[in-house]
């Protein structure tokens, strides 16, 4: 189901695009409490220090005196990288992981699973098989079951949120409040 020849990540973030919660799977044997599964809120990540850091780095980015026109055109990609990097740093901090160079955690790998498209359509047995392939060697059975329960719950919430968003898009199209662009049809990859 998944390419299991690749090294599995030490920490895997399970992201649900329409939700304010996500799951962090810390499969490191060296973590204080051993392997754990945590459901985190995006509001814990997007605190004032996150916004301050983004604003400070954005200001430095656009105020460079030596910036040429081509670099100016690349600002959106740089902002995306800035937000992604700072978000990951905040998530790692929220997990209580020390990422300093002299820490034994400095070389840990982080993977990201986006629960969208065909992954959202998994039946329970498919989800359990996939998590067993990804985490079966690193997580104890009870933690794996906890992960599956949390994933099923958030997958259900994500499906509902996606349905609401689609209805709002259609309503906006009909009422004329959607602006110039709306997705009428989306290939789910099946």
Give how far Cα 183 sits from Cα of 18, 56, 105, Å: 16, 35, 42
Q: CA-CA distance, 117 to 123, in Å (whole number)?
A: 13
> Tens of pLDDT along 72-82?
888 999 999 99
Q: What is the pLDDT of residue 122?
A: 94
Asked if residue 101 belongs to a domain, the reply is: yes
Residue 40 clears pLDDT 80, i.e. is over it: yes
Q: Does 38 map to a domain?
A: yes
| Tally of structural domains, the chain | 1
pLDDT band at 3 (very low <50, low <70, confident <90, very high): very low
Residue 75 resides in a domain: no
Q: Is the pLDDT of residue 101 over 60?
A: no
Whether residue 5 lies inside any domain: the answer is no
Q: pTM of this prediction?
A: 0.76
- What is the rounded average pLDDT of the residues 22-44? 87
- For residue 78, being part of any structural domain is answered with no
Alpha-carbon gap, residue 162 to 75, rounded angstroms: 30
- Beta strand pairing call for 110-114 and 11-15: parallel
Q: Does residue 12 have a pLDDT over 70?
A: yes
Domain assignment of residue 139, yes or no: yes
Which of the 8 DSSP states describes residue 6? S
Helices (H), the chain: 42-45, 48-62, 69-73, 75-94, 124-135, 141-175
Give the H/E segment covering residue 41. strand 36-41
Domain that holds residue 156: 11-45+95-175
Over 80: is that where the pLDDT of 190 sits? Answer: no
CA 133 to chain centre: 20
187 domain-assigned: no
Q: What is the structure's pLDDT at 1?
A: 41
Q: How confident is the model at residue 4 (pLDDT cuts 50, 70, 90)?
A: very low
Q: Is the pLDDT of residue 6 over 80?
A: no
Residue at 117 is within a domain: yes
pLDDT band at 182 (very low <50, low <70, confident <90, very high): low
């Amino acid at each position: 189901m998944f390419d299991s020849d690749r090294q599995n990540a030490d920490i895997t973030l399970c992201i649900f695009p329409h939700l304010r919660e996500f799951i962090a799977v810390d499969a490191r044997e060296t973590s204080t409490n051993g392997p754990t599964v945590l459901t985190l809120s995006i509001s814990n990540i997007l605190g004032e220090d996150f916004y301050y850091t983004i604003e400070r780095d954005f200001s430095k980015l656009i105020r460079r005196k030596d910036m040429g026109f081509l670099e100016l055109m690349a600002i959106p990609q740089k902002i995306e990288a800035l937000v992604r990097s700072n978000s990951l740093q905040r998530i790692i901090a929220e997990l209580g992981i020390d990422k300093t160079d002299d820490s034994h955690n400095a070389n840990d790998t982080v993977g990201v699973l986006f629960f969208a498209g065909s992954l959202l359509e998994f039946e329970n047995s498919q989800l359990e098989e996939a998590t067993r392939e990804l985490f079966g060697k690193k997580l104890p059975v009870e933690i794996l079951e906890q992960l599956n329960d949390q994933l099923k719950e958030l997958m259900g919430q994500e499906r509902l949120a996606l349905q609401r968003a689609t209805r709002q898009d259609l309503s906006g199209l009909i009422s004329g409040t959607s602006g110039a662009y709306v997705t009428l049809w989306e290939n789910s990859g099946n």
